[in-house]
């Protein structure tokens, strides 16, 4: 079966921005990425029971699939697991690594992983577990970062061009370490890995592309630059959180970036759909 390559319309991404603004608009790089994911995910309907891998606190899943109730979450972070358990979104939430899921074979009709696989060690083991817990004919919907998240490195370019010595490389390493970015594969490599695990990728949608992707990366790198007592983004986010015009202003900026991203070939991320 040939992979079908999709595109996403600006209007759908902006709808994603609107749907998520109340929880993410004080963090501009995060809402840019999440709005794109939301736009693609909303095209799909998952059939329960569903496994949410790297579920976090559950708020994003709730916004994308508000009517889906038969959902089990799994996450490695004990704090967010507690938030997820109290969210009312999941029938159960497990604190576990994704390459050793405490779940029986062929339990789920669908698996979902929102921007979590690129952070997971032993990715081939994780994908094998996804295959194991899915029922025959089950689907796997997920988003990932691509190698462009690494190779574009806008802040590193700026620092090197300004004579910063090895400062650019150190900032880049710090950014990758912050995200624990261990699997920044090109889309073709993601497809190969997923299919090696016994799943078949049927659709792929590039996201965060062109100038919008470049600006996202620059903002995200600046956001996580360390400073005394935390990160630059913590102070900026606190200021934005109390600005009554932040959502409308950021939306207009984002709309302009989306217009420049039309048909751009490179992309910092992708959403993929696979089947068992």
d(CA 133, CA 111): 9
Q: 153-178, pLDDT tens digit by residue?
A: 788 888 888 887 898 889 899 998 98
Write the CATH number for 198. 3.40.50.150
Would the pLDDT of 242 be above 80? yes
d(CA 37, CA 17): 10
- Supply the pLDDT for residue 68: 94
pLDDT: is 110 or 151 the higher one? 110
Domain count for the chain, please give it.
1
Q: 55-79, pLDDT tens digit by residue?
A: 999 999 999 999 999 999 999 999 9
Give residue 236's domain range. Answer: 4-275
**Which pLDDT band holds residue 125 (cuts at 50, 70, 90)?**
very high
**Which pLDDT band holds residue 263 (cuts at 50, 70, 90)?**
low
């Amino acid at each position: 079966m040939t992979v079908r390559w999709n595109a996403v319309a600006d209007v759908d991404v902006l709808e994603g921005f609107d749907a998520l603004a109340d929880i993410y608009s004080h963090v501009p790089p995060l809402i840019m990425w999440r709005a794109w994911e939301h736009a693609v995910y909303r095209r799909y309907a998952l059939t329960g029971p569903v496994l949410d891998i790297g579920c976090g606190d559950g708020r994003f899943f709730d916004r994308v699939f508000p009517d889906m109730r038969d959902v089990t979450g799994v996450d490695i972070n004990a704090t967010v697991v507690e938030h997820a358990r109290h969210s009312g979104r999941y029938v159960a939430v497990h604190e576990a690594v994704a390459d050793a899921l405490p779940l029986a074979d062929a339990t789920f009709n669908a698996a979902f992983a929102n921007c979590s696989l690129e952070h997971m060690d032993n990715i081939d083991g994780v994908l094998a577990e996804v295959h194991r817990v899915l029922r025959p004919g089950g689907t796997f919907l997920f988003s990932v970062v691509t190698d462009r998240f690494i190779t574009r490195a806008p802040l590193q370019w700026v620092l090197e061009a300004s004579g910063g010595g090895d400062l650019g490389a150190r900032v880049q390493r710090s950014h990758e370490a912050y995200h624990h970015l261990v699997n920044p594969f090109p889309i073709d490599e993601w497809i190969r890995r997923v299919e090696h695990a016994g799943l078949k990728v049927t659709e792929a949608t590039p996201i965060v592309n062109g100038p919008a992707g470049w600006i996202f990366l620059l903002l995200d790198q600046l956001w996580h630059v360390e400073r005394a007592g935390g990160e630059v983004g913590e102070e900026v986010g606190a200021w934005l959180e109390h600005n009554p015009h932040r959502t409308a202003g950021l939306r207009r900026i984002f709309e302009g970036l989306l217009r420049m991203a039309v048909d751009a070939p490179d992309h910092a991320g992708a959403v993929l759909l696979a089947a068992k």
